[in-house]
Amino acid sequence: MILIHNFIPALIFLFFSMICWGSWSNTQKMTAKNWRFELFYFDFVWGLLLTAIVASFTLGSFGSDGRSFMEDIVQADTTSILYALAGGIVWNLGTLLLVAAMAIAGMAVGFPIGGGLAWVLGILVNFMISGAQGNNVTILFTGVGLIVAAIYFCMMAYKKLSAGKKGSTSKGLIISLLAGLTIAFFYGLVVKSLDPAYVSGGSGNLTPFSGVFFFTIGAVISTPVFNYFVMRHPVEGEKLTMKDYFKGDMKTHLTGVLGGIIWMTGMVVSFMAIPKAGPTISYALTNGAPVVAMFWGVFIWKEFKGAPKGTNALLTAMFSLFIIGLVMITLSKV
């Protein structure tokens, strides 16, 4: 397999992963007018699986860094596999909630609140698993505090935007928060499945590529359960059936698959960098994705167009705090 062994290239890979994780949700926005998020999600998961398989049999099988993908599958123990599967299941529930939140509240709100909360809690979880790992703890957690403040400003901006509109403002916020609380724990579970020879904090015997593969299987097998429940108990609109899924045209389905490809590409490159950067920094940087999603939502999709006076000041504060927090987390590696 092929892994990254120098810190600067690892940082570049992690920033690329951040862009992927902050951009995949554009594909949901592209289909949102005529295609419910529950139906989009099936195609999204197929994109995850396709990318994980291709990465496993290419990057995970070539090169001289440890075992190849198939060799690793053969020697994998049950506990390691279960940790990775659990990571995929937990992530899948959280991400389905995140997509639901974006469908209700918009990309520039659902992602910063849900993704931002997952970012903060995930840093704490991975810090407890792997320790300081050469990080300046004061700088690291100052950055985390700034992100918490940014989430608060995002919530205030959303309340201003929603003032006077019909429907419950709190629904989008609550689902965003539930998404963040759930997603925060997936990365640590996958890290626990990995061989400590590749990543500090690992206690299993999987390589990064087989860990990502079993994570994806967890997401795939849990999707029919989670998504069918949401389809029968929708957060908005009428109930859906699988017949509705087959009414989509090829372009719509491929757009969802593209979203999965973008997200999983970010996952793969982040785990290629994790042996050098460590779980805490890897999670912190890749989950800077809310900054990217805010950019798309505010400037490209114009989700705050026509918002009340004072909203722009809140958005400016939100952007500034997210970015400064991201920089501080990056600089905490000493």
Whether pLDDT at 206 is above 90: yes
Query: Which pLDDT band holds residue 168 (cuts at 50, 70, 90)?
Result: low
Q: How far apart are CA 120 and CA 16, in angstroms?
A: 20
pLDDT at 166: 54
Site of tokens 């995850």: 48
Which tokens is 118 given? Answer: 């997952």
Query: Which pLDDT band holds residue 64 (cuts at 50, 70, 90)?
Result: confident
Q: How far apart are CA 109 and CA 115, in angstroms?
A: 10
Mean pLDDT (the chain) is 90
| Amino acid at site 158 | Y
pLDDT > 70 in the chain, percent: 96
Helix (H/G/I), strand (E/B), else coil: 218 = helix
What's this model's pTM, rounded to 2 decimal places? 0.90
Mean pLDDT of 100-109: 85
Using CB atoms within 10 Å of the CB of residue 7, give its burial: 0 to 12 exposed, 13 to 18 middle, 19+ buried. Answer: middle
Q: How far apart are CA 266 and CA 215, in angstroms?
A: 14
Query: Which pLDDT band holds residue 210 (cuts at 50, 70, 90)?
Result: very high
